[in-house]
Amino acid sequence: MKFVTAILKPFKLDDVREALSEVGVTGITVTEVKGFGRQKGHTELYRGAEYVVDFLPKVKLEVAVTDQQLDAVIDAIAKTANTGKIGDGKIFVSNLEQVVRIRTGETGAEAL
Partner 1 sequence: MKSTLPPFFLCALLSFSGWLSAEESATAAVTVADLAAAAAPVANKGDTAWMIVATVLVILMIIPGLALFYGGMVRVKNMLSVLMQVFAIFAMIAVLWAIYGYSIAFTEGNAFFGGLSKVFLKGVTPESMAATFSKGVVIPEYIYVVFQLTFAAITPALIVGAFAERAKFGAVLMFMVLWFTFSYLPIAHMVWYWAGPDAYTDVEAGAKAAATAGFIFQRGALDFAGGTVVHINAGFAGLIGAIVIGKRIGFQKESMKPHSVTMTMIGASLLWVGWFGFNVGSNLEANGVAAMVFVNTLLATAGATLSWMGAEWIDRGKPSMLGAASGAVAGLVAITPACGFVGPMGSIVLGLIAGAVCFWAVTSLKNMLGYDDSLDVFGVHAVGGMLGALGTGIFAAPALGGTGVYDYVANAVGAYDMLAQVISQAWGVGVTIIWTSLVSLISYKIVDATIGLRVSDESEREGLDIREHGETAYNL
Residues engaged in binding partner 1 (CB under 8 A): 44-49, 51
**Nearest distance from C-beta of residue 56 to partner 1, angstroms:** 15
Instruction: Kindly state the smallest distance separating residue 46's Cβ from partner 1, in Å.
Output: 6
Q: How far apart are CA 41 and CA 35, in angstroms?
A: 9
Give 54 or 106: the residue with its C-beta nearer to partner 1.
54
Q: Is the dihedral of CA 82, 57, 90, 69 positive or negative?
A: negative
Whole-angstrom Cα distance, residue 32 to residue 45? 25
Whose Cβ is closer to partner 1: residue 11's or residue 46's?
46
The residue (of 44 and 75) whose beta carbon lies closer to partner 1 is: 44
Q: CB of residue 32 vs partner 1: minimum separation in angstroms? A: 16
Shortest Cβ 81–partner 1 spacing (Å): 28
CA 83 vs. chain centroid, Å, equals: 15
| Separation of alpha carbons 81 and 7, rounded Å | 9
**Looking at beta carbons only, is 27 or 48 nearer to partner 1?**
48
Cβ atoms < 10 Å from Cβ of 48: 5
